[in-house]
């Protein structure tokens, strides 16, 4: 059996780096409690609380602390106690990161970002190797911090990347199952279904397998529905009731837990009068989901980019975002190396994100521990964080649209454009 030594060296180095960080006294527990890493629906501490109740034959959803998927409980119950033998939990999270990187390499090796079924960029030869893209993901400080903090969002990241990796090779039903698992854990990935199914359809047509797009979409929608039904039924068998639906998905839909995070929802709804709460919940959810149809239709020829840009949008506008969502967007972002020269605000976006990354923990400390600030301190820096990500997402979208425009209008290549 041939062993890819470069890949093995890369993965081994990434694993060793994570083990070194795990070995720092107190660091895993410190990062586990950080609001930038753990949210009410992904927190490892809350998972431990739910696991304790589950192991003592008490409903894990009693008390309103545990808001995560029921199937995570039997998975973690197979591991030794994380307080007494933490190494097994560490190895699980390292393995999930490596699996995510492996799926990312598979996506990069297909070249889908530069040359899809319906569109080929004239700059497609400007690309980084799959090793460089995997390294950028594995050694991204956001990815490492997420792994050390041990939120359950790493499982969502892994499932989404595997769904995309299977779609780009035309394995549609495997892709739909991975998407269903991601949606089962975090709910929001179900919005990725339209571009993902189009990506799988394009790849299937590359193999000259004739099937209408309508029957293909219906078949895959049934696969997603069947997979979700099976996962929910298994959850019912584990918990003995449907209580988990309200505690897991109702919390994300209705936002009863307003624990601070890097998102835009929590402070807004703290200040919101109860009489307007339901209206603005609907507005926020419609805003989040409204991007899916427009981007899928406008960028039909590049479904992988639609997935990438949607993940960036979700990292900004979902109810309980964390740096894990940002690391997922940044994992796919280097696939579009060929449009980097067309981007206009790279320095502004990167410096804004770096500024917020460094000052965010400081402002949170001033508010919670030093007592010399208030919630406005931390919310202000989360607005700067969201602004930086918004600039990066919008600039990437501009670069891809400009790339398409220069293919349609070759005489305009290299010329400046202005909005009139």
Distance of CA 320 to the CA centre of its chain: 11
* Whole-number pLDDT of residue 410: 79
Identify whether the C-beta of residue 77 lies closer than 8 Å to the C-beta of residue 55: yes
Note the pLDDT of residue 2: 65
- How large is the angle between the packed helices 375-408 and 303-317, nearest 10 degrees? 160
pLDDT at site 409 = 82
What pLDDT is stored for residue 332 in this prediction? 95
Distance between CA atoms of 67 and 248, rounded to whole angstroms? 5
Cα–Cα distance for residue pair 112/14, rounded to 1 Å: 26
pLDDT for the residue numbered 420:
53
CA dihedral 319, 321, 326, 332 (to 10 degrees): -50
Read off the tokens for 221: 């929608």
Are 31 and 148 in contact by the 8 Å Cβ rule? The answer is yes
Q: List the structure tokens of 258.
A: 């307003």
Predicted local confidence at residue 368, as pLDDT: 87
Alpha carbon distance, N-terminus to C-terminus of the chain: 60
Q: Residue 192: what pLDDT?
A: 96
Return the DSSP state at 38. -
Cα angle at 143 between 110 and 84, to 5 degrees?
125
State the Cα–Cα distance between residues 25 and 96, nearest whole angstrom.
23
Long-range contacts of 227-235 (CB under 8 A, 24+ apart): 227/176, 227/177, 227/180, 227/181, 228/180, 228/183, 228/184, 231/71, 231/180, 231/181, 231/184, 232/184, 234/70, 234/71, 235/69, 235/70, 235/71
Each residue's pLDDT expressed in tens, for the chain with a length of 420 residues: 566 889 999 999 999 999 999 999 889 999 999 999 999 999 999 999 999 999 888 889 987 889 999 999 999 999 888 888 899 999 999 999 999 999 999 999 998 998 888 898 888 889 999 999 999 999 999 999 999 999 999 999 999 999 999 999 988 999 999 999 999 999 999 999 999 999 999 887 766 566 788 899 999 999 999 999 999 999 999 988 898 999 999 999 999 988 999 999 999 999 888 889 999 999 999 999 999 999 999 999 999 999 999 999 999 999 999 999 999 999 999 999 999 999 999 999 999 999 999 999 999 998 988 878 788 889 999 999 999 999 999 999 999 999 998 888 877 777 777 665
pLDDT of residue 81: 85
With both helix axes pointing from N to C terminus, report the angle between 5-23 and 130-138 in degrees, rounded to the nearest 10. Answer: 0
DSSP 248: I
């Amino acid at each position: 059996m041939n062993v890819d030594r470069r890949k093995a060296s890369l993965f081994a180095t990434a694993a060793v780096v994570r083990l070194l960080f795990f070995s720092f006294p107190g660091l895993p527990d410190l990062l586990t409690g950080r609001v930038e890493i753990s949210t009410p629906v992904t927190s490892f501490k809350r998972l431990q609380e739910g696991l304790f109740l589950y192991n003592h034959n008490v409903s894990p959803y009693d008390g309103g602390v545990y808001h995560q998927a029921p199937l995570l409980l039997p998975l973690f119950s197979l591991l030794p106690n994380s307080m007494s033998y933490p190494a097994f939990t560490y190895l699980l999270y390292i393995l999930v990161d490596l699996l995510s990187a492996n799926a990312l390499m598979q996506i990069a090796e297909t070249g889908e970002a530069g040359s899809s079924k319906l569109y080929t960029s004239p700059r497609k030869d400007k690309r980084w190797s799959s090793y460089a893209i995997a390294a950028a993901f594995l050694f991204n400080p956001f990815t490492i911090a997420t792994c050390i903090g041990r939120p359950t969002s790493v499982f969502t990241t892994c499932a989404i990347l595997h769904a995309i990796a299977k779609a780009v090779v035309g394995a549609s039903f495997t892709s739909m199952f991975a998407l269903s698992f991601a949606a089962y854990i975090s709910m929001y990935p179900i919005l990725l279904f339209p571009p993902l199914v189009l990506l799988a359809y394009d790849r299937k047509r590359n193999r000259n397998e004739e099937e209408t797009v309508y029957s293909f979409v219906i078949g895959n929608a049934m696969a997603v529905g069947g997979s979700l039904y099976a996962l929910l039924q298994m959850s019912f068998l584990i918990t003995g009731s449907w209580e988990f639906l309200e505690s897991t998905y109702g919390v994300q839909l209705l936002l009863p837990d307003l624990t601070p995070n890097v998102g835009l929802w929590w402070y807004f709804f703290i200040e919101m009068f109860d009489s307007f709460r339901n209206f603005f919940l609907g507005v926020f959810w419609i805003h989040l989901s409204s991007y899916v149809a427009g981007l899928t239709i406008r960028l039909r020829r590049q479904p992988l980019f639609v997935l990438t840009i949607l993940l960036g949008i979700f990292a900004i506008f979902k109810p309980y975002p964390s740096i894990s969502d940002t690391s997922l967007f940044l994992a796919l972002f280097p696939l579009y190396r060929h449009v980097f020269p067309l981007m206009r605000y790279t320095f502004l976006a990167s410096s804004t994100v770096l500024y917020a990354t460094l000052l965010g923990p400081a402002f949170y400390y001033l508010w919670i521990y030093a007592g010399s600030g208030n919630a406005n301190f931390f919310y202000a820096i989360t607005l700067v964080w969201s602004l930086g990500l918004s600039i990066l997402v919008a600039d990437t979208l501009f670069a891809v649209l400009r790339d398409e425009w220069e293919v349609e209008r070759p005489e305009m290549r290299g010329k400046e454009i202005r909005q009139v």
